[in-house]
């Protein structure tokens, strides 16, 4: 039997809300995941993309990775990985992860399907990787999956590593492949990209998004509170895979508390009380979203007195002002369209940006930059 750890979306170097502690959190989660690999004595590690937060990581992020990779080399545990949408170089640069090949780090699938074999004591597994394909490369994806499937047909044990949106796990517009288009002959599909971890029940091949190891966006809070963050301990024998989700214990708690000026303290206390014993020594981070009108300065004063909670600057959502209704103008979308009548394409971008911004401003900005080709 072979044993490996599947992790994903570690986003090393991510730095949120201008906070040093939020950069450290990503390194800590990564170290914890790697320590699990050592404790559980796995044969190798599979990382399904977005190892780094950008294709050009800071020297700090590279150094943090080097330290951990050295430790893994000493433990004799090699790592196989692919590039995600975040860490694939946008120009003619080299992938950052490739610098560390001498430490037993193997990057797969730079230009399409690429495979290698891991063997130990007469047992063998074929490891196939396809780095993230999007934009002009996206049309290749289904062909690459077909090519990968051919390789898997003649292998006894096989793993596919892929970093894409698959239907059922993201809104359809954001998906690059239907679940039915995935290869059928692998023992295990090691997926990355979707940050809320998931193991598909009764699937063959066994399909799993390992999920991110830390929260990249406040949209991950709900799933985190329900199921935490985890890595996958996978065992492999006779073309059959079995997964155990191993929880990460050091992830900082985050909350989004939506309330109004009269109830925010009560709502905040209720939320904190419910999870307090799980904080694990890390001060939780709270985003307070307050609807209606009231004394904003008082809110800032009240929250500044909390010693055991860190707050992001509170968001104040003013009450919707009554406006004279006009026929055919019922939704925000109607107003956006009427403003951009000259240019329907701009209307479409504005509308999409608006819907992203309602959920998460930072993600919305990233989306817009990408849409306009402005890079990171
Ligand atoms: Mn990611």
Q: What is the pLDDT of residue 355?
A: 80
Q: What is the pLDDT of the chain when averaged over all its residues? A: 92
Which pTM does this prediction carry? 0.84
CATH 3.60.21.10 at 2-247, yes or no: yes
Per the CB < 8 A criterion, the answer to whether 148 and 196 are in contact is no
pLDDT above 90 (res 36): yes
Q: How far is the CA of 320 from the centre of ligand 1 (A)?
A: 35
Q: What is the DSSP letter of 53?
A: S
Per the CB < 8 A criterion, the answer to whether 367 and 359 are in contact is no
Per the CB < 8 A criterion, the answer to whether 337 and 347 are in contact is yes
Per the CB < 8 A criterion, the answer to whether 257 and 275 are in contact is no
Q: How far is the CA of 309 from the centre of ligand 1 (A)?
A: 27
Catalytic residue ranges: 86
Q: How far is the CA of 164 from the centre of ligand 1 (A)?
A: 10
Of the pLDDT bands very low, low, confident and very high (cuts 50, 70, 90), residue 51 is very high
Dump pLDDT digits (tens) for 78-92: 999 999 999 999 767
- CA angle, corner 195, sides to 139 and 184, nearest 5? 50
Dump pLDDT digits (tens) for 257-299: 999 999 999 999 999 999 999 998 899 999 999 999 999 999 9
Of the pLDDT bands very low, low, confident and very high (cuts 50, 70, 90), residue 321 is low
Q: How far is the CA of 52 from the centre of ligand 1 (A)?
A: 9
Residue ranges per structural domain of the chain = 2-247, 254-317, 332-371
């Amino acid at each position: 039997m072979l044993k490996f750890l599947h992790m994903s979306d570690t986003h090393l170097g991510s730095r949120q809300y201008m906070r040093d502690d939020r950069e450290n959190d990503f390194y800590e989660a990564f170290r914890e995941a790697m320590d699990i690999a050592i404790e559980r004595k796995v044969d190798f590690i599979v990382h399904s993309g977005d190892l780094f937060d950008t294709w050009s990581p800071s020297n700090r992020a590279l150094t943090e990775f080097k330290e951990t990779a050295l430790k893994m080399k000493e433990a004799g545990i090699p790592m196989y990985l692919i590039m995600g949408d975040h860490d694939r170089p946008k120009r003619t640069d080299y992938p950052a992860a490739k610098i560390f090949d001498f430490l037993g780090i193997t990057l797969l699938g730079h230009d399409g399907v690429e495979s290698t074999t891991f063997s130990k004591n007469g047992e063998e597994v074929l490891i196939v990787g396809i780095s993230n394909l999007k934009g002009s490369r996206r049309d290749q994806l289904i062909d690459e999956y077909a090519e990968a499937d051919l390789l898997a047909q003649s292998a006894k044990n096989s793993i596919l590593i892929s970093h894409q949106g698959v239907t059922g796990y993201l809104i359809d517009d954001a998906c690059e492949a239907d679940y039915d288009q995935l290869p059928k002959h692998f023992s295990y599909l090691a997926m990355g990209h979707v940050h809320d971890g998931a193991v598909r029940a009764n699937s063959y091949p066994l399909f799993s998004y390992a999920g991110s190891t830390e929260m990249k966006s406040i949209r991950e809070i709900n799933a985190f509170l329900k199921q935490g963050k985890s890595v996958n301990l996978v065992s492999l024998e006779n073309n059959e895979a079995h997964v155990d989700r191993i929880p990460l214990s050091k992830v900082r708690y985050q909350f989004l508390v939506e309330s109004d000026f009269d109830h925010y303290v009560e709502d905040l206390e209720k939320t904190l009380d419910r999870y307090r014993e799980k904080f694990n020594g890390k001060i939780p981070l709270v985003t307070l979203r307050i609807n209606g009108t009231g004394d904003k300065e008082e809110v800032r004063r009240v929250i500044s007195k909390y010693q055991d909670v860190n707050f992001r600057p509170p968001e104040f959502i003013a009450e919707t002002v009554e406006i004279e209704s006009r026929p055919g103008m019922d939704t925000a979308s109607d107003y956006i369209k009427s403003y951009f009548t000259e240019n329907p394409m701009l209307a479409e971008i504005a509308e999409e940006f608006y819907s992203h911004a309602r959920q998460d401003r930072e993600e919305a900005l990233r989306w817009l930059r990408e849409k306009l080709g402005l890079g990171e």
